Structures are given as structure tokens and as C-alpha cells.
Amino acid sequence: MTKIALVGAGFVADYYMTTLANYPELEIAGVWDIDAGRLAQFCGFHGTQAYGSLADCLGDQGTTIIVNLTPPETHFSLNLAALKAGKHVYCEKPLGMSFEEASEVIALAEKEGLTVCGAPANGLSDARQLTASLIAAGRIGAPRLAYAEMEDGPVFKDNWMEWRSRSGAKWPGLHEFELGCTLEHAGYGLSWLVALFGAVEKGQAFSALTFPDKGPGTSDLVMGADFSVGCLSFHSGVTARLTCGLAAPRDRSLTIVGEEGTLVVRDLWDDRSPVHVSRFDEKRPLLQRLAGRFERSRGQVLPLRLTHGRAEAYPAPARSGKLAAYPSQIDFGRGIAVMAEAIAKGETPFFSGQRALHLTELALALNSGVGEFAPRSRF
């Protein structure tokens, strides 16, 4: 049994609480939030203990892992404080607001013999494991090119001010508009790309604010970029493009083109997303061939887009457990569970240390639109 403490009881904390129920080996010792009213509401809903202060939380001798769910601007200071208190840290993205901050966090963890893992956990999903196994089996030949999409749709045109989590927390839309879409969302694509293809050797990044007016309450805010695109060259030889945005129609797919075929993951936010494979030497499925004939005969593209290839079967049934409601069907708790298991075995979790630093560095580069860059982090 590993005891953990949550710091931050906002919107995303409910996603964690929903999925932590899948892992009885993790015990929530308590929760802390700077907002006393929000903390009471959260703990009352979930039946968890509230710490009286952050010092009480970090000083709890029975707790092994601090789960940092605070706003990104406070990640750095809390990560350092937790490490200095002798705690392992699982941190929502990013580890810090600069490469220097993130590097200091990882350096302190290494010095103290502690572990820092970074979210998101979708890089540990069943879908990612299935994709990796299909690539390893040579189903599409050697991968050469990847397109990762992280378009969340025009959320600022929706009724986002009414969005609430299970326990009643407001979606922090204004803060997300200020921060920009990339630091919030790039990690969902980057974690997959790095898990599948390794470290990035060099890249090019561009970002822009395309919709400065995002509705009521936003006129006095300094908005972050709501569009970014990064082109990444991996040491393994793969080239990838990652696009993030808050305006284009929702698309969270990943397309990987290999020397012998193509693989498409329909939704990176779905723990068991359909994964489609098509080979260049095979016929397309009947429905796709019929659609192609119809388009050619009519001279028009159909309004319904079919995912290319045939859906692959998962090798095992889904593990019983809860996921958050659509659209965030990610097992948020899995990242903490995998981390706790690795620590207990004396092993290094996959998304920890220098790899976690690498993911933060990439997201920061894409967010700032720095142009050409070469990552300084190595793993």
C-alpha cells in the first residue's frame, strides 16, 4: 500500500479521483488546496481527509508521493518543497515554467534519491501499448512519418463558463486562455511520440494567438497562443508534426506512416481507442472502397470521413475500472500507480527523470514558438 497526498482540488483533481478508484494499492492520505471552500467541497464529495495546511501535507510522515495538481505557475515551487520534504512527486504538466526550473527539479530529485514523474498518463494507455506492439511486429514496416493532432475545437465559443467537474469545480477557462493551449495539451501528443520513437534531436516550433477575443471576461487578459505547430526530428529517424489548437474542429488522432503501411489511432484521449492499420500491399476494407468509388463517380468528397484501414483487436479485454466521462477517457490514476509500483521495486518509472524533463522542454519550446531548437535534455 502506497499513501499519496493530492495538492490542488480543482477541475482536473476529479479526473484523478475517478480513476484512482481503479488502484486499491494506492491510499489517499489527504488533500490540500489553497482555497478553503473548494477544499471542503472536494473532500466532502469524495470523503477524503483535508490537511490543515500545506506544511501538514508535506510533513505527513506516512505519505510517499505528492501529486501536484496545482496551476502550472506553482508547479516549480511545490515540486521543490515536496522534494525537500523527502517526498516523491507526480506532477501535472509542465514540471516548471522554464527549462531552468524543470532542470532544477530533476537535479534536486536525483541528488536526494527521489523520483519525479510527469503527466499525462495517456502515454501509458492500452492504446499506446497496442500501437507499440503493432509497430514492433512490423505491421507497417519501419515508421518514417507521424502526424499528431491535438485540436480541442472552438471551446471559447461553447458554454465553458457552465462546465463543472463531478464535485462542482469550475473549468478554469480564463486561466487556460491566458496560459495557451500548448502547455495544457501538447503533452498528450508528445508522451505518445516520445514513448514510441524516443528522444527528439531537433525541431522547429511556431505558435500564434489567432482569436484574441474569447468572449466575456477575456478583454483585459493577456492571451496565450491558441495555435501551435511543431516539426520534430527524432534520433530514431522518425519525423513528426504536432499541432495544438483551441479553434479547429476536434481532432485528437495520431497517424503513423511506415515503409509498408499506415497506422491511425483515432483518439489519444481514449485509453482503448480504435487503432487502424492499412498496408500498401492490401486491399482497403469494402466500405472504404465503396466510398472511394462513390466520390469518384459524383466528383465530390463525402461529408463523412472514414478512418483509413482496419481496426485491430486488443490482445486482452479491458481491465475493469473507471474512466472519466468523454471526452477525457484517460486513466489519470495509472501514471501514479505505475510510479508507485516502480519505486517499490527499486526501478525507474518510464515517464520520470530526464525523460520527464525532455517532455517539458519540448512543450515549452512549442508553446513559445521559438523557431529552430535543439533539446538540451538527454535520456
CATH class of 2-121: alpha beta
Residue 245 has pLDDT above 90, yes or no: yes
Distance CA 49, CA 66 (A): 15
The answer to whether 206 and 369 are in contact (CB under 8 A) is yes
- Give residue-wise pLDDT tens across range 131-143: 999 999 999 999 9
Calculated CA dihedral for residues 157, 162, 166, 172, nearest 10 degrees? 70
Every domain of the chain and the residues it spans: 2-121, 125-328+353-373
- Give residue-wise pLDDT tens across range 317-346: 988 688 988 888 999 999 999 999 999 999
Residues in the chain: 379
Same fold, 2-121 and 125-328+353-373: no
- Written as one letter, the residue type at 194 is V
Q: DSSP secondary structure string, 92-112?
A: -S-S-SSHHHHHHHHHHHHHH
In the Cβ-directed half-sphere of 24, how many Cα atoms lie within 13 Å? Answer: 2
Calculate Rg over the CA atoms of the chain. 21
- Give residue-wise pLDDT tens across range 74-125: 999 999 999 999 999 999 999 999 999 999 999 999 999 999 999 999 999 9
Distance CA 174, CA 155 (A): 11
Interstrand relation of 2-7 and 26-32 (parallel, antiparallel or unpaired): parallel
* pTM more than 0.75: yes
Distance CA 302, CA 197 (A): 34
Mean pLDDT across the chain, nearest whole number? 95
List the 261-265 sheet strands across, edge first: 310-311, 275-279, 261-265, 254-258, 143-151, 239-245, 227-234, 200-208, 371-373
CB-based burial of residue 204 (10 Å sphere; 0-12 exposed, 13-18 middle, 19+ buried)? middle
CATH classification number, 125-328+353-373, choose in 3.20.20.190, 3.40.640.10, 3.30.360.10, 3.40.50.1220: 3.30.360.10
Range list of β-strands (E), 251-291: 254-258, 261-265, 275-279
Nearest CA among 76, 111, 109 for reference residue 92 = 76
